[in-house]
Every structure is written in C-alpha cells, then in structure tokens.
Structure 1
Amino acid sequence: MPSEPSEPSAAARPAGTVPRRISTKAGTFTESVIREMTRLCLAHGGINLAQGFPDFPCPAELKEAAKAAIDADDNQYAITWGAAAFRHAIAGKVARTYPGWTIDPETEICVTCGSTEAMIAVMLALVDPGEEVIMFEPFYENYGPDAILSGARPRFVSLRGPDWSIDEAELRAAFSDRVRAVVVNTPHNPTGKVFTRVELELIAELCQRHDALVITDEIYEHIQFGGPGGHIPPATVAGLEDRTVTVNALSKTYAVTGWRVGWTIAPPVYTSAIRKVHDFLTVGAAAPLQAGGVAAMALPQGYYDTTAAEYLERRDLLCDALAAAGFRFRLPDGAYYVMCDTRLLDPEGDDVAFARRLLETAGVAAVPGSSFFADPSDGRHILRFAFPKRLDTLRAAADRLAVLG
C-alpha cells in the first residue's frame, strides 16, 4: 500500500511558506451550500428564497426586553449554561405547551449560541469516535458535519416520497449496537414532514433495544399546518423520556435568526456533559438577548396561533406560484420550506446549474437539492424554496417565477 504523502520538512520548504495541510475531518465536507446561495443572491440582487430567515420584524416584546437589558448594563457573561431567569422561562413555556412534560431548569437545560452550537455540543458531549449516528435523508446540511467533527460515522436512512415516510425495514436494518444516536428533525427541514406518533414509537422501540439516544431538532415546533396528529416532541413518547436530547432556539418561532440563542433539554447526566462542552465552545450566549428570550417565553398562546396561520398563508401563496411555474411537490405539513421536483423544467437534472440559472434569469434564489443528500445525485432533480417572507416579497417572487410557466 502506498504511504500517505507527508508534509515537507521546514528545510525543504521555500523560505516564507507555511504548511497547507488541513484536518482529514475538514476535508470531508464543503462549506454550507445554503449560505453560499445567499451570497450569490446578494450579488445578483435576487429575492432570497434559499436561506430560511424572515424579512419581517420580530415581536416588539423581545426587542424592548433586550434594549432594556442593554440600558441596564447587562453587558457581562451570563451563567455559562444560561441566565436563571431564561432557563426558568423555557421550562415554564414547555410545561404550558406540552402538559405533563416537566423540566428542571437547574439541571436539565443548557442555553447555547443558537441551535447550531447546541447540536455540535450535544454530539461532542454524547457521541464517541467510531460510533454511528443515524440521520434521515434528505437532511439539514449541518448534521453530517456535526457527526464527522465528533469522530462519529453518519448512517443515512431514506425518507420515502411522496409523503416522506420512514421505511420500517430500512430503519430496522440500520440499527445495531454501534448506533449511539438518531437525529430527528420535526417539523422537518427540507421536506416539511411532521413525524407521526407511529414513527416515533418505532424509533423508541429501536433506541431502547440498542441503548441509543434521540437528538431531536424542534426549532420549527410552532410552524405547522394541521397535519395528522400535529407536532409531537419525542421526549414525550413512552420509552424516550430518559434518552432524548431536545434542541431548540428562538430563531424561527420568534423571527430572530441573527440573535443566535438556543438551548438543549435533556436528563441531568446528559445536560452536565453538554454544559461542559458548551462552556469550552462559546462560554455562553449573549446576556441581553437572553433577556429577550425571557420575554419570548412569556408570549401568549395567541402569538403561536397567529404565527402558524400567517405561515400557512405564505405557504399557500408560494406553492400556488411554484405549481403554476411547473414545479411539482407535496404540500409541507410544517416548517417553512417547499421541496420541489424540477423534472418538468430541468429534464437534464443538474440542480446546481438550474439553481444558478433560476437566480440569473428570474432573480429568485433556491437551494440545490444535492446539498440534502449523502449522494448528490439523489438531489439532482430537486430545489428547496423557503417562505419566511413578507407577503409582498412572496408576491414579487411569484411574478418572477411566472416567466418559467
């Protein structure tokens, strides 16, 4: 077997040069395709339906609370794992939303710098190198790199269209005693699927049999459109109560994706480990913005009802435009994305080229489907559109998409 190429010795390198070797882990994945499409959209002056961030204001209560905290000179570190008032507010909000789910804010919550940091902190804290992490594909692009950076091996299980259901036989075959965790994202990015109770009970059975954890990303919990059963937190499913780590954040529900305030909820033994890793990743989330989080957790149920109704209107507006333009898709039951089949418009099936062409000719940015699959060819006939936008923005995008129809 040929040996690996070695870095030239200092004497062999030209003066003034430095080694250019990167880690093996960093070499196994690319930069975010989603964020790249945002940069391209800005360069072309397009309408950004690629990256999932709102273009409308967050609730005034959050802004006033954050401003008051800044005016009160709340400028220093909060407690590493989250200000006490915020942790207690999260626990109270969860109890009101999901009766029967009781959380100890002193031992079961860790506040993080967004759900993105939460996910990598969980992986680093709870998954050992060489273990496997099951992920459903299509998947949100961060999960694979998180597992790789943790030294784990991603193991992919397909969600089957058109309803993006779990294939029970495939999931059972994926499990073994090497599996440490299963990542569940519900409501799901990019498909808009909401996992059913039957699916979660199947996951619970397999996790108990193989002593695996569930790491569940529930950042879209309040953006759902009345699908069968609605959103069910895995931590409330029998058999998963003591083996679930829930990841969430202010970002999507409260339209503050730039604040980067998230949290984990987990049994004390797991939370203790997550808090240690979080401490050495970021120390803590911004103190004044945690005060805004306290205000967010105090919003009444009417806020969530209105949010879901407004997103339903946005979904229907964009989906009507996409259908008229020639895209085919299943209406999402939750989250704020539409995953589209592009075959009628792009028979050759080059999702990256088609996404660039759509931006350059119609001025609308979407995400190439290949970024959501382990094998990029599985996404060659797919684009993902996001609809967390003002109705006027979506109407303007619809006018631009009409050139395709």
Structure 2
Amino acid sequence: MSINSENFSLLSKLPQYVFSSVNELKYQARSRGEDIIDFGMGNPDQPTPRHIIEKLLESSLQGRNHRYSVSAGLPKLRLAISSWYKRNYNVDLDPEKETIVTIGSKEGLSHLMISLLAPGETVLVPDPCYPIHSFSVLIARGNIKEYDSIKDDKLLENIEKGLKSEPKPKALIISFPSNPTTQTVDLDFFREIVSLGKKYSVIVIHDFAYADICFDDFKAPSFLQATGAIDVGVESFSLSKSYNMAGWRVGFMCGNKEVISALKRVKSYLDYGIFQPIQISAITALNETQDCVNQIRDRYKMRRNRLVDGLNKIGWEIEKPKATMFVWAKIPGKYLDLGSLEFSKKLIKECSVAVSPGIGFGSRGDEYVRFALIENEQRIQQAAKSMKKLFK
C-alpha cells in the first residue's frame, strides 16, 4: 500500500500558505549571513512579566499540579475571567456556564467551528482576516462566504448584504481591533451587530485578541457590552499579546451559554485542558497588577510612532493605527501592480526587511502589507532608512 497525501480530502480544501514563500526567502537570506529586520509574524519579542513567570515556577514545584486538568479550565481561572470582564467592561458572566478556557485563540476558534457546523454550512468571514477565521471553517468542513472589510463606512452594509444572501450563514465572524487591518469600532457598531444577529438568526463570534493594545486614549469596547450580545454570540480573548504570553497558549471564550456548552462538550472529547501551572499563572495575570499591560501597550505605541513617522518621512503615506501591534500599509503607488507577495519579496531582496503580504489575509488585502511591531526602535529606524531607496 502506498500512502499519498493527495488522498487526504481535508488537505485539498486548505489553500496554499501564502507566507511560506516569504519565509523561505527570509531563511535563505539569513543562511547567507544577512541581517533581516523582521516585521513578519505577530510574535511578541519581549518576555512574559516577571510576576507571572514566578507564579509558574512556584506552582510547577507542587506535584498535585502535574495531574490532568479539566478541558473547560480550572474553576478558579474561570472565576478570574468573569471578574476580569466585570472589572474592565462591567459585564456579568456566569463562570460555570458562560466561560471556557482555551488553548489559545486558534484552538478555541477551530474547535468552536467543529462544534457548531454541519458539513457544508456557511460562515460569513471578513476579507481580509486573520487566517484562522477562514481556515477554521474549512477544517470543520464548512463553506466560507466573505464580506469586504476594507472600508470602515461600508462594514455594516457589507455584513448585512452577506447575511441576506443565500446560502444563509449560520455564523458571522468579526474582530475588532482588527488583525490585519487595525480597524476599530465603537459600542454602537456592536449594538448594530446584535440587531443583525437577531434579525438573521446568526451566531456572532467576536475575536477580541487586541483588547488591551490601544493607543491615544482609545479603549476598545467588548462585544459583550452591547445589550443582548450574550443572546446571539461569544467573544474570544488570548493572553498572548496583553501579557506577552504567546508561547504559553492560553485564552478563553465567553458568552452565550448554549454555544459555550457545545464547545465544552467537544473539547471534553479532545483534551484534558492546559498544564495547570500555566492556568494558575493566568489567574495571576488577570487578577494582579495590570502595570505590565500598560507597559506593553506603551512599548507598542512607541514602536508604532517610530515606524509610521519613519515611513512617512521617506515618502510612504500611512495613518497611525489606534490599536493592535500592527501597521497596515497600502503599497506605494508605483509598486501596486506588483501585488503584495512580489512587493514583500522585493523588500527582503533589496532592503533586508520582512513583512507579511496582504494577500495572505484575503484577496482584498493584495494592495497592502502588514508590519508587526516586533523590532526595537533602533531597528525600526534602520528599516525605514533601508527602504528609502524605494522612493527615489
């Protein structure tokens, strides 16, 4: 018997990973000894705050914490999650029925789709979007219907157009502040989404990964703050960005008890939860001083300012985003015809700068590239200087 991966039906449904060709160029350049200034993956470069690490060390020394956990998460962590929502957004949640701990956002979203969808059912997804928003639907054997998420003033109109069309979507995915576009919305927007959710009987899923990474006195609202939101949907959050805990793989999902119950049931077949000391450390992160969150936010703000100011100085025209750890930049006019993938390759080859091509987030992103703010200010300045040659 010969095994051929072409016979694995799910793999045939998953699109080619666009970022792989850029990553390969980056690898080749580094293997030649070149210094690549890397704005590609949104992978925080700073360590997890000390008090969280100390709690991990302390709890890891206790033998009882090395046993299996529970797939829904430790009860004390779910209580900390509900307290975090009350403290930050004045949202009341039942920690038992309306919260669940996830192994990061990607795991939670992927298993949520498996929980909700029958094969062939449709989900309305933004284009461009964080890739797991669409890939999770494909993994669950669902179908994707895209709505144009580029223009702020057309968002609600485009979403309703997608909800009206056939086949009728079972779920709607939104994410604000947005990766990759850095878009933000106000609470009135979420109120409109709740109305649409009720009108079209659709489950709303809001990815809130960048809740805390906001600048210039902007505070991102939670979807669950909107009256009636808990009747139509759920919200996911990750500790990766707010607490520099990307590699720890811990997050949570909260909201509608029927949706949370479905995810709990599916996860109960698939995992025994996260290593307990990581969950105990997450309790510390959520419950104790939030000075570290403010420091992380301030660092991203300084980097945002340095990058946008530097790019504008050399001739790029970019507005400063109000949130996220990214800058979403339209490709300069004379390079637009290249498309984002070829332009990204050009940046590596000619400027030793790596970015993410917008096409990797959806077809409507092809006129853009995304910079992740994961290099220090000195290297950001160096990158802007290196890219100056593109504008001569």
Q: Which SS does the other structure have where 2:149 is aligned?
A: strand
Q: Which SS does the other structure have where 1:26 is aligned?
A: helix
1:169 aligns with 2:169: no
- Please name the residue that 2:136 is paired with: 146
Shift, 1:281, TM fit: 3.5
| One of 242, 246, 252 as aligned partner of 2:235 | 246
What are the residue-to-residue correspondences of 1:179-194 with 2, within 5 Å?
179-194=169-184
Cα distance in 2, alignment partners of residues 168 and 84 from structure 1: 37
- Please name the residue that 2:52 is paired with: 62
What are the residue-to-residue correspondences of 1:71-90 with 2, within 5 Å?
71-73=61-63, 74-90=65-81
The structure whose residues are more often helix, as a share, is 2
| One of 260, 263, 280 as aligned partner of 2:252 | 263
Q: Contact 1:113/1:284 (CA < 8 Å) preserved in 2?
A: yes
- Please name the residue that 1:305 is paired with: 294
1:394 aligns with 2:380: yes
Shift, 1:37, TM fit: 4.1
Cα distance in 1, alignment partners of residues 373 and 342 from structure 2: 22
Cα distance in 1, alignment partners of residues 353 and 88 from structure 2: 37
- Please name the residue that 2:33 is paired with: none
Q: 1:22 to 1:323 in 2, by over 3 A?
A: farther
Q: 1:39 to 1:159 in 2, by over 3 A?
A: same
Cα distance in 1, alignment partners of residues 203 and 15 from structure 2: 27
Q: Contact 1:56/1:390 (CA < 8 Å) preserved in 2?
A: no
The amino acid that maps onto 1:397 is A
Q: Contact 1:112/1:278 (CA < 8 Å) preserved in 2?
A: no
1:18 aligns with 2:6: no
Q: Contact 1:113/1:282 (CA < 8 Å) preserved in 2?
A: no
TM-score w.r.t. the length of structure 2 is 0.90
- Please name the residue that 1:122 is paired with: 112
Cα distance in 2, alignment partners of residues 68 and 399 from structure 1: 46
Q: Contact 1:34/1:51 (CA < 8 Å) preserved in 2?
A: no
Cα distance in 2, alignment partners of residues 205 and 124 from structure 1: 25
Q: Contact 1:314/1:387 (CA < 8 Å) preserved in 2?
A: yes
Show CA shifts across 1:142-165 (max 9, x none).
11111112222211111243xx34
Question: After TM superposition, where is structure 1 displaced by more than 6 Å over at least 4 residues in a row?
Answer: none
Shift, 1:187, TM fit: 0.7
Cα distance in 1, alignment partners of residues 150 and 333 from structure 2: 21
Q: 1:159 to 1:363 in 2, by over 3 A?
A: same
Shift, 1:335, TM fit: 0.8
The amino acid that maps onto 2:84 is K
Cα distance in 2, alignment partners of residues 165 and 281 from structure 1: 41
Q: 1:355 to 1:282 in 2, by over 3 A?
A: farther
- Please name the residue that 1:96 is paired with: 87
Shift, 1:42, TM fit: 4.2
| One of 23, 29, 42 as aligned partner of 1:44 | 29
Cα distance in 1, alignment partners of residues 89 and 142 from structure 2: 32
Q: Contact 1:224/1:308 (CA < 8 Å) preserved in 2?
A: yes
Shift, 1:192, TM fit: 0.8
Cα distance in 1, alignment partners of residues 348 and 77 from structure 2: 41
Q: Which SS does the other structure have where 1:384 is aligned?
A: strand
How many percent identity over aligned positions?
23
Q: 1:227 to 1:345 in 2, by over 3 A?
A: farther
Cα distance in 2, alignment partners of residues 219 and 55 from structure 1: 17
Shift, 1:25, TM fit: 3.4
Shift, 1:112, TM fit: 1.6
Cα distance in 1, alignment partners of residues 95 and 22 from structure 2: 38
Shift, 1:111, TM fit: 1.2
Shift, 1:347, TM fit: 4.0
1:156 aligns with 2:146: yes
Q: Contact 2:127/2:365 (CA < 8 Å) preserved in 1?
A: no
What are the residue-to-residue correspondences of 1:214-253 with 2, within 5 Å?
214-226=204-216, 230-253=219-242
TM-score w.r.t. the length of structure 1 is 0.87
1:272 aligns with 2:261: yes
Q: Which SS does the other structure have where 2:253 is aligned?
A: strand
- Please name the residue that 1:107 is paired with: 97
The amino acid that maps onto 1:249 is S
The amino acid that maps onto 1:295 is T
The amino acid that maps onto 1:401 is M
RMSD, matched Cα: 2.2
Gaps in structure 2 of 5+ consecutive residues: 31-35
Shift, 1:277, TM fit: 1.8
Q: Contact 1:32/1:141 (CA < 8 Å) preserved in 2?
A: no
Cα distance in 1, alignment partners of residues 96 and 70 from structure 2: 11
Shift, 1:115, TM fit: 0.5
Q: Contact 1:37/1:51 (CA < 8 Å) preserved in 2?
A: no
After alignment, is 282-291 or 90-99 more displaced? 282-291
Shift, 1:366, TM fit: 0.4
Q: Contact 1:326/1:345 (CA < 8 Å) preserved in 2?
A: no
